[in-house]
Amino acid sequence: MKPGRGLDHLVLAVRDLDAAAARYQRWGFTLTPRAQHPWGTANRLVQFDGVFLELVEVDRPALIAEPAPGDVSFGARARDFLQRREGFAMLVFESRDARIDYAELLAAGLAARPPFDFSRPARLPDGSVVTVGFSLVFLPDPRIPDATIFLCQQQAPQHFWKPAYQRHANATQGVGEVVMSADRPAAWEAHFAALQGEDAVRNTPEGLDVATARGRVVVRRSADVAARFGGPITGGRGGTPGLAGFSLETSRLEAVTEALAATGTRHRRLDDRVVIPADEAFGCGLEFVQAAR
């Protein structure tokens, strides 16, 4: 199996997409126009080069179909997550070929679901509308009931990735790190080794470090996550593992602090990073770090 599937996107579930998008714009991000999925959710994206943030809300709940036993429904997962809280609901890795990945992940011992294909309209920066398509391979795991991990293959990348959407006033360049909370980080070693390759996973005294082709994932204990992001972040029910937060790399950290100060956003400025607490960032720990020069 080829190691190092890169981060593709982070799904951030919000109850009011317009309000969340407006706040991200005030923070200095460029967002794509609102788009709708065929199963009752809507999104706006913060694109970088090869990775993006997806702000998603349930805007047409009547369209959400209940999944069959053993299946995974994006719409139902988003709805059920939002019934509990807003936050970091889904972690998505890139796929070059969803059907090959599905077979490889099954062989590696993961409970992968068969690829799910769909398409939706997307508005380009010039105002024209095109169709973009995706193939998803979900990796359900009962140990993480309040979050979802899956792979995503772009079927029309020439229409999806647009430089005009990737230029941000706060000089943010991409996702550097995803933080997962778990009381026993080492318990996730086999899972991520199957997904990324054994050489990509390292057990440390702090927790588990997982290298990918784009960014990395770290699994840390809840107390360490709270210390990093300046307060507790609700994970899964009953203390189960969950997706806690993420860091973004910027070439001008001062541009971030200026935007946050101008909007009255609570934040902590440390030597090489700026942290927004979860209650200001729709349930996610959000950190900006100075990119390597």
What architecture is domain 172-290? Roll (3.10)
Write the pLDDT tens digit of every residue in 161-183: 999 999 999 999 999 999 999 99
* CA atoms in the 13 A half-sphere facing the CB of 25: 12
Contact call for residues 144 and 241 (beta carbons, < 8 A): yes
The domain segmentation of the chain, as residue ranges, is 7-165, 172-290
- Predicted confidence at residue 57, as pLDDT, reads 98
- Give the integer Cα–Cα distance in Å for 164 and 32: 10
The reply to whether 7-165 and 172-290 are identical in fold is: yes
The DSSP code for 51 is -
CATH number 3.40.640.10 given to 7-165: no
The whole-angstrom separation of Cα 174 and Cα 160 is: 16
Question: What does the pLDDT look like over 219-235, one tens digit per residue?
Answer: 999 999 999 998 878 66
State the pLDDT at residue 3.
Answer: 53
pLDDT band at 5 (very low <50, low <70, confident <90, very high): very high
pLDDT tens-digit map of 117-160? 999 999 999 999 999 999 999 999 999 988 999 999 999 999 99
Q: How many CB atoms lie within 10 A of CB 224?
A: 16
What angle is formed at CA 41 by the lines to CA 39 and CA 42, rounded to 5 degrees?
130
Give pLDDT, residue 271. Answer: 83
Cα 230 to Cα 4, 222, 224, 248, 258: the distances in Å are: 30, 12, 10, 16, 20
Any idea what DSSP says for residue 207? E
Q: Over the stretch 188-206, which tens digit does the pLDDT of each residue have?
A: 999 999 999 999 999 999 9
pLDDT over 70 (residue 1): no
User: pLDDT, tens digit, for every residue of 62-119?
Assistant: 999 999 888 899 999 999 999 999 999 999 999 999 999 999 999 999 999 999 999 9
The model's pLDDT over 49-74, given as tens digits with 9 standing for 90+, comes to: 999 999 999 999 999 999 988 889 99
Please report, for residues 71, 190, 216, 230, 238, the alpha-carbon distance to residue 145 in angstroms, rounded to integers and kept in the order given: 14, 18, 22, 25, 10
**Taking the model in full, what pTM does it have?**
0.96
In this predicted structure, what is the pLDDT of residue 236?
Answer: 65
* pLDDT value at residue 235: 63
Classify strands 285-290 and 52-58 as parallel, antiparallel or unpaired.
Answer: unpaired
DSSP string across 107-174: HTT--PPPPEEEEEEEE-TTS-EEEEEEEEEE---TT-TT-EEEEEEES-HHHH--GGGS--TT-EEE
pLDDT at 70: 82
Q: What is the DSSP string of 89-118?
A: EEEEEE-S-HHHHHHHHHHTT--PPPPEEE
